[in-house]
Structure 1
């Protein structure tokens, strides 16, 4: 199913750029997947401390590595059963780490709701295959979308104060919309 209304579509651009980098065939996609935790920690700690440039760099790094692992696995036929698990688990943990960094800036309740909503979005996306359908990637608050929101807000915060609690609320609202879209698309697909 097409991943409309989502930053996820930008992965195609990143993949074209990655195709120009020599030596990627020597990388282990599972190691790259685990390495996603490094920029996630950089982003999370930087958000907590108010180091906006580093937060943006961490979020961008997390996005690039999340594209790189899949690119290597697919392009060089390096998929593994372990990789399927690492891809889901590590990205979930990485997302939580990034959003936990907002505890230094936003109301704890809204940060908790944003983390819970992000998890529900991700689960709603991957439940399609359990029911016999396909994974749903639609936004507007998939993993890449949330990272783009955090990245953009971090860049804005360099020059303009941000109310991070409102940003968490925005993530929650967009996540509810996204989860609803993913479930409804899955149900429609399964009925067809």
Structure 2
């Protein structure tokens, strides 16, 4: 009789652990899917940038250094995205991606600011179209980042609560990192209105 009770307890514990593992795996899959949505938008941005640089190059011969900096930042961001794609949520990969994307956004901001000084470039239809597509993509990245962060929060909450914490640690489910905005503090600052 005692053996049956012990066997029943073991079966219940195994079923409980499997249920928790499956739930954590579902959350992790949702995080990976959410990152894939960010990745699609990052690829879109990365693909648009060379076209934007080529259009600008025709008008901005004296700004070759800026154009080259944008291309270098894009290359670094593409590499960081490739690394993050291999392990979404891993702290080192997400940190490198955030730094690379922030550098790219900074260089793109410089390019767009310089483009303002060239009225013919600013009026170029291809430049306007590419600028609009990049702006649209930036908005999509923001929405995808929010969805990703929501999924990471759900996963981290689930994996850090007892008793799920036990299964998470035994199964190797590590804490996942959220993606921060690629805007710098100055761009995020609330404008001050004074009368």
TM-score, normalising length: structure 2: 0.29
Q: Look at both structures and tell me which one has the larger radius of gyration over its CA atoms.
A: 2
TM-score, normalising length: structure 1: 0.29
